[in-house]
Amino acid sequence: MNKNKLKEFIFSLCSVMSVSGFEKRAEKPITELTAGMFDSTLTDAVGNRIFIKKCGKQNAPRVLIDAHLDEIGMIVTEVCKGGFLRIANLGGIDVSIMQAADVIVYGEKPLRGVIASTPPHLKKDDKLPAFSELLVDTGLSEDTLKELVDVGTPVGFAPIYGELLNGRLIGKSFDDKACAACALLAIAETPGEELAADVYVMLSATEETNRLGGVAAGAFRCDPDYAMVIDVNLARVPDTKDYETVEMDKGISISLSAATDRRLSMATAELCRRKDIPFSLIAAPSSTGTNATTVNLVGLGIPTVDVGLPLACMHTYNEVISMTDAMSLARLVREFVCSKEIAAEMTREEVSLI
């Protein structure tokens, strides 16, 4: 896969506004971005987006690749005096990064805004405001603002992308659309005849706000034989514990957890070893903290592996990922869906209870 092509695709997909609960708004731009990449695509009632690529074989097994579509963001709770908006947190945003942030209010037409802050000349203590005390400054008069924005309007961070040293990318909502971009491009570039199963790539809804929401309905509909859930994983930074984090630039992570399928997880690790894809194993005892925990329990149960892309500054507008790791992830997705060994091992046997 071409590195620059993947980078540009990540930037394009992550620029799309998909604040948790407002995934429907992303439908049109994502259709445009993925035109011609898949055999078919469908949406459902909760905002999931599913892309299908068939392997062309009869009675082929089905594999689901899930990455969540939604991003952290905000929702308008009040149009205040003086042209300000009060907002609530959609997904866990650290209030300490909010003041002075560039945001976009997605009303009838997108409006620029900045989060109000108190200057040092007038500030008296170092306490952070509660999220409900934050205000979006839209620069508009109260009357104009009332015409353009209603309570319930989504607000997102402004998409401003850049790069650090060593091919690290910075910007908003790599969590989790960067993973979605890796999966979409990897599958689109794999010739159908190489696939070991029919592939369903799902960009699932409402992970950030309601983990039992979107993905369960989508996985139920796809009814796969096995699944890979891809989400970002907390990168190791100063002041964090090694066992809770993964090192950046050292490849992807595979979770070992009571909440996912150990056989599939080990098979995926073995695949990485065989294909020289850098990875590390992490322990996530009773929950992966991702959609994997949910997918595993859908329908009759779906054997699921949880894969992570290391990401620093999670849940900010300047999330950091490594292009090297993104390339590793794209390679793993391709090898995973082409692996005849895994497909054979995971194809379900029909068991009659009576």
Partner 1 sequence: MTSEKLIERLCSAFGPSGREEAVAGLIKKEISDICPNAVYDRMGNLIAVMRFGDTSAEKRKRVMISAHMDEVGFMINEIKSNGTLGFDTVGGINESVMAGRRVSVLGEGGLMTGIIASKAIHHKDKKEREKAVKTEKLYIDIGAADGDEAKKYVSVGDFAVFDSPFYTFGEGLVKAKALDDRMGCAAMIQTMRALKKQPPEGDLDACFCFTVREEIGLSGAKAAAYRIKPDIAIVLETTAIADIEGVDPSGRVADVGGGVVVSVMDRSTIYCRPLVDLALRLGKQKGIKAQVKRYVSGGNDAGTIHKTGEGVKTVALSVPTRYLHSPACVASMEDYHSQQRLCEEILRAVCSTEEI
CA angle 314, 253, 283 (to 5 degrees): 95
Out of 96, 109, 243, 300, the only residue in the binding site for partner 1 (CB under 8 A) is 96
Q: Does 293 bind partner 1 (CB under 8 A)?
A: no
Q: Does 27 bind partner 1 (CB under 8 A)?
A: no
Q: Does 15 bind partner 1 (CB under 8 A)?
A: no
Q: Does 280 bind partner 1 (CB under 8 A)?
A: no
Choices 11-19, 113-121, 176-184, 329-337; region in contact with partner 1 by CB under 8 A: 113-121
Out of 7, 49, 62, 315, the only residue in the binding site for partner 1 (CB under 8 A) is 315
Out of 112, 263, 273, 274, the only residue in the binding site for partner 1 (CB under 8 A) is 112
Choices 54-62, 133-141, 257-265, 268-276; region in contact with partner 1 by CB under 8 A: 133-141
| Beta bridge pairs of residue 102 | 114
Helix 323-338 vs helix 262-275: crossing angle, to nearest 10: 110
Q: Does 135 bind partner 1 (CB under 8 A)?
A: yes
Site for partner 1 in 235-254 (CB under 8 A): 237-241, 244, 249
Q: Does 286 bind partner 1 (CB under 8 A)?
A: no
Single-letter code of the amino acid located at 319: E
CA distance 29 to 160: 17
Q: Measuring CA to CA, which residue among 348, 342, 183, 347 is closest to residue 264?
A: 342
Choices 31-39, 61-69, 105-113, 339-347; region in contact with partner 1 by CB under 8 A: 105-113
CA distance 182 to 254: 16
Q: Does 84 bind partner 1 (CB under 8 A)?
A: yes
Q: Does 113 bind partner 1 (CB under 8 A)?
A: yes
Site for partner 1 in 161-220 (CB under 8 A): 162-166, 168, 170
- Cβ atoms 71, 177 nearer than 8 A: yes
CA distance 21 to 8: 26
Q: Report the greatest alpha carbon distance in the chain.
A: 77
Choice between 125 and 193, CB closer to partner 1: 125
Q: Measuring CA to CA, which residue among 310, 313, 308 is closest to residue 289?
A: 308
Q: Does 93 bind partner 1 (CB under 8 A)?
A: yes
CA distance 50 to 52: 7
Choice between 29 and 167, CB closer to partner 1: 167
Q: Does 349 bind partner 1 (CB under 8 A)?
A: no
Residues whose CB is less than 8 angstroms from the CB of residue 93 and which lie 6 or more positions away in sequence, other chains included: 72, 74, 131, 315, 316
Helix 323-338 vs helix 3-15: crossing angle, to nearest 10: 100
CA distance 25 to 147: 20
φ, ψ of residue 241 to 5 degrees: the values are: -85, 140
Q: Does 36 bind partner 1 (CB under 8 A)?
A: no
- Cβ atoms 93, 129 nearer than 8 A: no
Choice between 146 and 273, CB closer to partner 1: 146
In angstroms, give the least distance from the CB of 20 to partner 1: 15
Query: What's the token pair of residue 268?
Result: 């995926």
Q: Does 283 bind partner 1 (CB under 8 A)?
A: no
Choices 109-117, 191-199, 278-286, 296-304; region in contact with partner 1 by CB under 8 A: 109-117
In angstroms, give the least distance from the CB of 102 to partner 1: 7
> Interface with partner 1 by CB under 8 A: which residues?
80-84, 86, 92-97, 99-102, 111-123, 126-128, 133, 135, 137-141, 144, 160, 162-166, 168, 170, 234, 237-241, 244, 249, 312-318, 320
